[in-house]
Amino acid sequence: MESICVIDYETLRGAQNGEIVKEISVADKNVLETFHFKSPYIMKAHCYEENGIAWADGQLEYDKLRQTIREAVSGYAHLHAYGIAKTRFLTELVALPVPNLEDFNCSQPQGLMSQISCSMPCHKNYINHCCATRKAQALFKWIEHHLKSRNYTACPPDFTRHTASFNSCL
Ligand SMILES: [Zn+2]
């Protein structure tokens, strides 16, 4: 399990409709790392309803995004994310394959439970906001549960279609 991680992120709309990553998280069994980035340029203050993040939020310089996330995932053999847009973006960002958990019938991250809280003030106060930290951790828990239930399956294993395809990817 040590070599598997989940990446998730939250964005704001930048100039020319570009997506700007404001929060990005990497989760495994024992580690949950979150990075909050400053916006790369000045524009009118705005915020997303879904995640509550404001344009002025963040601590790290935006030009460190690629290097930061590449270092954070460098020890893992298998990276995962949820959704086609995110897996495409992350595959390009880290220059490694990032399979889509949707293809393994994983539930939407917003519907998964997470007990942890995030250091971003808007996420602490509003539990319903989309938070990359909580989603990455919840998605990793889903993988963990999925792999455990595979191990506990009575012999001969009765693999469902998605279990078989998930296993074949690991
Ligand atoms: Zn958060």
Interval between CA 57 and ligand 1 midpoint (Å)? 11
Q: Convert the pLDDT of each residue in 87-146 to its tens digit.
A: 999 999 999 999 999 999 998 888 787 778 788 877 766 667 889 999 999 999 999 998
170: tokens are 């690991």
Interval between CA 62 and ligand 1 midpoint (Å)? 17
* In the block, residue with structure tokens 């506990």: 152
Among 115, 112, 82, 116, which Cα is nearest to 99's? 82
Interval between CA 158 and ligand 1 midpoint (Å)? 38
Would you kindly state where each structural domain of the chain is located, as residue ranges? 4-165
pLDDT at residue 157 in the model: 46
162 pLDDT band (50/70/90 cuts)? low
Interval between CA 124 and ligand 1 midpoint (Å)? 8
Could you tell me how far CA 15 lies from the centroid of its own chain? 24
Mean pLDDT of 134-159: 76
5 pLDDT band (50/70/90 cuts)? very high
pLDDT at residue 154 in the model: 43
Q: Does domain 4-165 have CATH number 3.90.25?
A: no
DSSP three-state, residue 93: helix
Least confident of 3-17, 18-32, 131-145, 151-165: 151-165
The CA–CA distances, whole Å, from 35 to 28, 143, 152 equal 15, 22, 35
Interval between CA 123 and ligand 1 midpoint (Å)? 5
Interval between CA 68 and ligand 1 midpoint (Å)? 17
pLDDT at residue 168 in the model: 55
Interval between CA 164 and ligand 1 midpoint (Å)? 33
104 versus 153: which is more confidently predicted? 104
Interval between CA 93 and ligand 1 midpoint (Å)? 20
Q: Convert the pLDDT of each residue in 46-102 to its tens digit.
A: 888 889 899 999 999 999 999 999 999 999 999 999 999 999 999 999 999 999 999
pLDDT at residue 166 in the model: 59
pLDDT at residue 22 in the model: 96
